[in-house]
Chain A
């Protein structure tokens, strides 16, 4: 049984990330339950998804102690997990600058959501073909989203240790899928 919590605020893609992952897992033959818990606001307020997957039907869809928590904002309280992956500054476990990467690699902050999905897939150990992956992503910006997910999926442990701020090497070839001209800063000042 795997339990994942995705936590963010309205507008950060909690629904898209969790629904895409849930669909992938369902397509792989798992029993899946995906539950949304969110506040009454279009943007900016708490938005949490509880995702459980197992071979057997799931009794309780409300996750308490998760295996993995993806934290994109600080809007929800009392969420616990064995491992936490978060936007920089929101935890002490594994910090990834999703927003920054979204802008720098793909031109828009919002692609950081897809990078997060990719990372989540790697942690949950989901292996799917690119086609299967593309099919669960939103139609709009599908190519860019796919690239971003793959980028997140291939983030290596050493990248995270060293910190993704130093970007002296380009390991990933996205030349066929870049949405436009993207200049990487030689050295980010962050």
Chain B
């Protein structure tokens, strides 16, 4: 029962109504349940921010690290306990901004980690500042005239080495999301799942969406599946690319 993996007595979560994190947590729990992963053989490590709270809601040993430090911590955990399934859940700011240096090196060293990136294009918990994946020209509280930089290209960063696993999916595409998580866990190396997710309160409303539902419909309209066997995912394509 996937619900066994969730600390039901801690619900409701501290996440806003309409947040996509709840869905990510449920899909992760379903996958773990299906694979027989539980507190005896796995751990969830999450960073700081709204996403970081996820480990605390799951019925496995978990760590809420310092901001941006999930990867050094997770890599070390895996080195000491190779039989433990180590799953990292973190936000785009935590993984690609303050954690950017660590992301570069973790991908290079290729430890057997599964990384779920809650990619909502914003620093949600602190009120909606631009993040490393915020699209150019987006208005946020720290880019009132529109973001002036291009976002980090997570796919290219992951594909820099000889071995890689990069999945792109969205919270709207539930089954695809679940499948990406499953394949990432099965991958014997550094597996990165880039999950486009809605932050309605501190990003969506400012962008003009009235509800999380509208944001999900936007994901549905925007993203389409990459063709089978594609070696690179296009800008609005969901799918998995891997090598090694």
Contact = CB atoms under 8 A, between A and B. Distances in A.
Interface in A32-62: 40-45
B12 A42 contact: no
Contact of B124 (A40, A42, A44): A42
Contacts of B50: 42
Contact of B125 (A11, A40, A44): A40
Nearest to A44: B14
A44 B201 contact: no
B17 interface: yes
A30 B202 CA distance: 34
Contacts of A43: 14-17, 201
Contacts of A40: 125
Q: Which secondary structure dominates chain A's binding surface? A: loop
Nearest to A40: B125
A44 B202 contact: no
A41 B17 CA distance: 12
A11 B12 CA distance: 16
A171 to B, nearest CB: 33
Nearest to B201: A42
**How many residues of B sit at the interface, in one of the four size bands?**
10 to 19
A8 to B, nearest CB: 15
Nearest to A10: B16
Contacts of A42: 16, 50, 124-125, 201-202
Nearest to B17: A43
Interface in B1-52: 12, 14-17, 50
B70 to A, nearest CB: 19
Contacts of A41: 14, 125
B188 to A, nearest CB: 37
A41 B19 CA distance: 13
Contacts of A11: 16, 201
B86 to A, nearest CB: 26
B231 to A, nearest CB: 39
B36 to A, nearest CB: 34
Contacts of B16: 11, 42-44
A44 B12 CA distance: 10
Interface string B57-79: 00000000000000000000000
Contacts of B12: 44
A118 B207 CA distance: 31
Interface in A97-112: none
Contacts of B201: 11, 42-43
B125 to A, nearest CB: 6
Contacts of A44: 12, 14, 16
Interface in A1-46: 11, 40-45
Interface in B189-240: 201-202
Nearest to A43: B16
Contacts of B202: 42
Interface in B99-138: 124-125
Nearest to B128: A42
Interface centre among B12, B16, B202 (most CB of A within 10 A): B16
A42 B128 CA distance: 10
A43 B12 CA distance: 11
Nearest to A39: B14
Contacts of B15: 43
A44 B111 CA distance: 38
7 contacts: A11-B201, A42-B201, A42-B202, A43-B16, A43-B201, A44-B12, A45-B14
Interface of B: 12, 14-17, 50, 124-125, 201-202
Given A11-B201, A42-B16, A42-B50, 10 more contacts: A40-B125, A41-B125, A42-B201, A43-B14, A43-B15, A43-B16, A43-B17, A43-B201, A44-B14, A44-B16
Query: 7 smallest A-B Cβ distances: which pairs?
Result: A43-B16, A41-B14, A42-B16, A42-B201, A44-B14, A42-B202, A45-B14
